[in-house]
């Protein structure tokens, strides 16, 4: 029976090895949706053309891991912020460093370019927001008010306002002309990851780790909508180009929302994992994500996605029919007034008073020696010339391109069914094209390439293998055997830190599952022998999991009584850190469960977690310690510094003893945190943030 060929709604476009070490941040060019910038722990910023295998340009100059990266609106410049707090701006057309900006005291967490002027905003873990004049090479204003790391910054489409979102669960709106805060939104209960202005109306959307998306009216400064359908933290937001709906990116899913009234039009399953950025172009939504050294890009066909009409989930009162989105130009609220040209004369407040408040070190131009250390290495001249046109050319960067072709629904089956055969028939030089993983890679297969390079000649196409019935009674010719392996790679040493996300199993030897080679000819492995190989260590694993399940059942029985401290004490008494981590992961989601009694029990366990070789244990320990410092340090400090009371106050004495014990344990932990704050990557960022929070302990 013939089956109609239908194309996919979402698909993976490609997967590349982007850096020689872990990728930390990503950014898509919002104007074209065809440029991608990646920042890594190797201190480099690499520029890519989406869907092309080779790195166009590699930008160097940072001496610390790159934590944040952003294109300007014309995609002619890119800025990158590092773990040390420094910023570097590159001119992509001239292929050179443009500015080096210093001033932040901790990791750069967020960046955004002004839509018209030569201004740049940066937010840091030091809680400060700085506005930079790229031409004057200095900071022109500093905005203070957040109490935790500033995770997202966004200029309004008219360039008059700056919105900032923070881990302190607040959104602040700043007037750039007056140089002061306009209002603050506080309805979120978790860290805010993303904010996005509506392209036309006075409307702001925000997505948070509390799994909600909220919409704010910027005329009346009030919340007009809140959606709670997300299954995990909201990581990315993007309004449709005409503003008719809002796209929300979370783990492995894309949702389409409307407002007034709140409703969800569609849910699309996309395998992008923890999506890092979104862009819209040619009626397609491009999403990118990273894992270890790899970067994956995905495409969603927006013509196949519902943007109005039937509702998947939402709250409609009094059984009223849904209203269609308002036609363009008939909005319910004001629209932004944009300048007639991009050469705006608008200026941000730069009075002598604001200049005086800016530290001299922030306004001073970097030395020529510092800029000489930065470079832009062009790795793919052909793509560079095609994308970054000279400024005298009519075509701007990058040139408009056609939509990505959508694969058929059944193509994935063909690729999976023939993957092994294609892998066998393809020469090694074609299978390992630098930077590009042409076929889906199994999670247990490590990617061996670490540095994106340029291939002078075009890669040979991989032969397409399709299953077809035999046309004659003759048996098919046997496939040529793969060339014998000349030398085996040395076994990798056991890592000092076991990552929570990894692309190969820890403690398993792949060779145990392969038949022994004799005279370079693989022998046939029987079913019993294969099962015996696979069952190695299976009984031990079953015993361990059974014991853990029994312990968790015991904890659950105690938890049912409502006594969190007794549950945690029981977990500690079992001498199994995995049980403690399981309990803490639950308690960390509800900060209201934390009490001072809980801190005295868990702080010694946190010290063990921070020094564990398992990355997931370290992350849980950092999260718990952060919660304790934010919620209880003011109480501990006030209690220990308060004058002694008159008479006998047993409750106060008990609280004083608990605070004293917590203070002693926190002092011990501060030494651990200081020793680990010099690490690179996510660990280093977390420990540096803890070091800032623990600074009052030294006074």
Indicate whether 488 pLDDT > 70. no
First to last CA, the chain: 79
Of the CA atoms within 13 Å of residue 23, those in its CB half-sphere come to 30
Q: What is the pLDDT of residues 371-418, one digit of tens each?
A: 446 667 776 677 766 676 554 443 444 555 678 887 877 654 333 333
Positive or negative, the CA dihedral 548, 552, 554, 555 is: positive
The span from the CA of 130 to the CA of 111, in Å, is: 10
The span from the CA of 437 to the CA of 17, in Å, is: 8
The span from the CA of 579 to the CA of 576, in Å, is: 6
- pTM value? 0.62
Phi, psi of 563 (to 5 degrees): -100, 95
Of the CA atoms within 13 Å of residue 446, those in its CB half-sphere come to 13
Helix count (H) and strand count (E) of the chain? 14, 32
Task: Write the CA distances from 309 to 107, 201, 322, 368, integer angstroms.
Answer: 44, 22, 7, 59
Spatial strand order in the sheet of 203-208 = 192-197, 203-208, 213-217, 222-227
pLDDT bracket for residue 123 (50, 70, 90): very high
Q: What is the pLDDT of residues 526-568, one digit of tens each?
A: 777 777 777 777 878 888 888 888 888 888 888 888 778 888 8
Q: What is the pLDDT of residues 198-228, one digit of tens each?
A: 988 889 999 998 889 999 998 889 899 888 7
Indicate whether 350 pLDDT > 90. no
Contact 39, 69 (CB under 8 A): yes
DSSP state of 408: B
For the residues 288-297, what does the mean pLDDT come to?
90
Q: Which residues contact 513 (CB under 8 A, 6 or more apart)?
A: 530, 533, 534
The span from the CA of 305 to the CA of 253, in Å, is: 13
For 653-693, the DSSP string reads HHHHHHHHHHHHHHHHHHHHHHHHTT--HHHHHHHHHHHHH
% of the chain beyond a pLDDT of 90: 13
pLDDT of residue 507: 56
Q: What is the pLDDT of residues 241-292, one digit of tens each?
A: 888 899 998 888 899 998 888 888 888 888 888 899 999 988 889 999 998 8
Spatial strand order in the sheet of 236-239 = 236-239, 246-250, 253-258, 263-269, 313-314
Contact 151, 167 (CB under 8 A): yes
The structural domains of the chain, ordered by start, are 10-301 (2.130.10.10), 530-697 (no CATH)
For 38-104, the DSSP string reads EEETTS-EEEEETT-SSEEEEEE--SS-EEEEEE-TTSSEEEEEETTS-EEEEETTTTEEEEEE---
């Amino acid at each position: 029976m013939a089956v109609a060929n239908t194309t996919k709604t979402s698909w993976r476009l490609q997967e590349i090895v982007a850096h020689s070490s872990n990728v930390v941040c990503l950014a898509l060019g919002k104007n074209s949706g065809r440029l991608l910038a990646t920042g890594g722990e190797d201190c480099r910023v690499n520029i890519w053309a989406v869907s092309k295998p080779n790195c166009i340009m590699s930008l160097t100059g940072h001496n610390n891991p790159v934590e944040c990266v952003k294109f300007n609106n014309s995609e002619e410049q890119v800025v990158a912020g590092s773990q040390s707090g420094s910023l570097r701006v590159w001119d992509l057309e001239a292929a050179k460093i443009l500015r080096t900006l210093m001033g932040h005291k901790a990791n750069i967490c967020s960046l955004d370019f002004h839509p018209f002027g030569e201004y740049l905003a940066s937010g840091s873990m030091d809680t400060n927001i700085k506005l930079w004049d790229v031409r004057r090479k200095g900071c022109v204003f500093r905005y203070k008010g957040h109490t935790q790391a500033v995770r997202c910054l966004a200029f309004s489409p008219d360039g008059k306002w700056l919105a900032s979102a923070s881990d302190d669960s607040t959104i602040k709106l700043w007037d750039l002309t007056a140089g002061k805060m306009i209002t603050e939104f506080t309805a979120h209960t978790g860290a805010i990851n993303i904010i996005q202005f509506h392209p036309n109306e006075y409307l702001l959307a925000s997505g948070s780790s509390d799994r909600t998306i909220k919409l704010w009216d910027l005329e009346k400064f009030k919340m007009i909508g809140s959606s709670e359908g997300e299954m995990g933290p909201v990581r990315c937001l993007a309004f449709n180009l005409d503003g008719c709906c809002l796209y929300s990116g979370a783990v492995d899913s894309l949702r389409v929302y409307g407002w007034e009234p709140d409703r969800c039009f569609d849910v699309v399953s996309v395998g992008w994992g923890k999506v890092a950025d979104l862009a819209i172009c040619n009626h397609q939504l491009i999403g990118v994500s990273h894992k270890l050294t790899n970067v994956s890009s995905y495409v969603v066909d927006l013509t196949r996605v519902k943007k109005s009409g039937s509702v998947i989930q939402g709250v409609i009162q009094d059984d009223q029919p849904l209203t269609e989105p308002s036609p363009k130009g008939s909005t319910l609220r004001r629209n932004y007034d944009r300048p007639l040209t991009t050469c705006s004369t608008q200026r941000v407040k730069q009075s002598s008073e604001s200049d005086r408040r800016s530290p001299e070190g922030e306004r001073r131009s970097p030395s020529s020696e510092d800029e000489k250390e930065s470079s832009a290495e062009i790795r793919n001249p052909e793509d560079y010339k095609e994308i970054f046109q000279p400024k005298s050319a009519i075509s701007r960067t990058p040139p408009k391109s056609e939509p990505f072709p959508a694969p058929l629904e059944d193509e994935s089956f063909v690729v999976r069914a023939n993957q092994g055969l294609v892998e066998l028939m393809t020469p090694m030089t074609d299978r390992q094209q630098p930077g590009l993983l042409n076929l889906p890679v199994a999670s247990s297969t490590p990617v061996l390439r670490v540095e994106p390079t340029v291939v002078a000649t075009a890669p040979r196409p991989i032969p397409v293998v399709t299953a077809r019935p035999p046309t004659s009674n003759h048996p098919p010719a046997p496939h040529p055997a793969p060339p014998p392996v000349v030398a085996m790679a040395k076994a990798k040493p056991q890592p000092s830190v076991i990552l929570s996300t990894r692309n190969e199993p820890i403690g398993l030897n792949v060779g145990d599952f392969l038949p022994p080679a004799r005279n370079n000819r693989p022998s046939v492995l029987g079913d019993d022998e294969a099962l015996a190989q696979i069952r190695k260590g299976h009984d031990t694993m079953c015993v361990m999991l059974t014991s853990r399940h029994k312990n968790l059942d015991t904890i659950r029985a105690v938890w049912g009584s409502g006594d969190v401290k007794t549950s945690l004490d029981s977990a500690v008494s079992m001498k199994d850190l995995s049980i403690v981590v399981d309990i803490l992961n639950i308690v960390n989601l509800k900060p209201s469960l934390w009490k001072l009694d809980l801190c005295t029990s868990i702080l010694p366990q946190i010290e063990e977690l921070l020094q564990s070789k398992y990355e997931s244990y370290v992350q849980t320990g950092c999260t718990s310690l952060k919660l304790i410092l934010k919620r209880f340090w003011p109480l501990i400090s006030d209690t220990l510094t308060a004058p002694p009371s008159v008479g006998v106050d047993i409750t106060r004495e008990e609280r004083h003893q608990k605070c004293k014990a917590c203070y002693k344990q926190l002092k011990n932990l501060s030494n651990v945190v200081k020793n680990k704050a010099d690490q690179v990557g996510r660990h280093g960022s977390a420990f540096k943030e803890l070091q800032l929070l623990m600074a009052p302990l030294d006074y």
